[in-house]
Each structure stands twice: as C-alpha cells, then as structure tokens.
Amino acid sequence: MLKKEMILKTAVCYWSAEDECYAVESPFFPPVIAAERTPAKTFKVYKSMLNSTYEELLKDRVHGFKRGRPTKNGVELHVQVQSDTKQMIDELRKGLGLSQGEFVDLATFYYAKKGEPAYNSTTLSPDATISELLDALQIKAPLPLPKRKLQKAVG
C-alpha cells in the first residue's frame, strides 16, 4: 500500500515562477498539489489536502488511482556506480520506503523542480550537494557512513 508517510517524506517544495508562489507535490501521488505564499504555509496546506485525499484513496474514490503502489510503467536503466554510492542509495531508499527506481525518480523530480532559482527563496541549485538534498527531504535519522579502507601512499 502506498503509505501516507512515504508520500509526505517525498514531497518537494519549490518556487513556481509561473504561478508566483511556492508549491508542494510528491512524484508518487500527483493528485495532490498545494500552493501558497510561503513554504511553511504550503506544507501545511499540502498535509491537510493529503489527509483528506488519502482517506478517499482508501475508499477507492480518487480518480485514476487505486489502492496499492502505482504501476511503474518504466524503462530499464542499468548504471555502474561506486560501491559507496550504491550503499548510500540503498540506505536512503530503505529509509524512505522506496525501490531503487523510485529513488531515481524522486532525485530527478527534486532536481527538476529545484532547478529554477526563486526570488528571495532557499531553493537549491541543480549542483546542490547530496547533504543539501537530504536536508531538503527532511531525513532525520543519521545515515551510517560507508567504511573505507585507507591505502598507504607508495613512494
């Protein structure tokens, strides 16, 4: 089942230049999008809308959505990453309750929405660090750092 907590953890707040306001949405539950003048107000509205919509989802009353995880309808993506990167992705996605593909979708969605600078806002640039991404995603639990073996310099 698509959990409300997972939707909240993956909600992204960004400045919408087109609408001239802040917006919050999750890539995993598109029926709910909130907009307000400040990020705090936007999250408050989003949580309220999600609560009421989620109750309707449990009764199968949300048009285009059925209970359970949405179908992926995706394409395969095979990548080679460093072992530390793989370990960090696994820890992050497990903490959020996501599959690897969903985590890639979330990271892509996040950077696409945060890419436009906002007037007087704290949005991240496309070259934001992973720690800035984690802070924005409000991941509270500290992640264990991968253990590395130090090599002695020869020469």
Assigned domain for 151 exists = no
Range of the domain at 107: 4-69+77-136
- Whether residue 85 contacts residue 103, with contact meaning beta carbons closer than 8 Å, is answered with no
Residue 45 in any domain: the answer is yes
From CA 143, how far away is CA 145, in angstroms rounded?
6
Q: Give 18's pLDDT tier (boundaries 50, 70, 90).
A: confident
145 belongs to a structural domain? no
Number of independent structural domains in the chain: 1
From 146, 149, 151, select the one nearest 84 (Cα to Cα). 146
User: Is 146 within the bounds of a domain?
Assistant: no
For residue 97, is it within any domain?
yes
Residues β-bridged to residue 39: none
Q: Is residue 36 part of a domain?
A: yes
| Within-domain flag for 128 | yes
Phi, psi of 123 (to 5 degrees): -65, 150
Tens of pLDDT, residue by residue over 117-131, are 544 444 555 566 666
CB–CB of 89/103 below 8 Å? Answer: yes
Q: What is the pTM of this model?
A: 0.65
pLDDT per residue over 66-117, tens digit each? 666 666 677 888 888 898 889 988 988 888 888 888 888 888 888 888 765 5
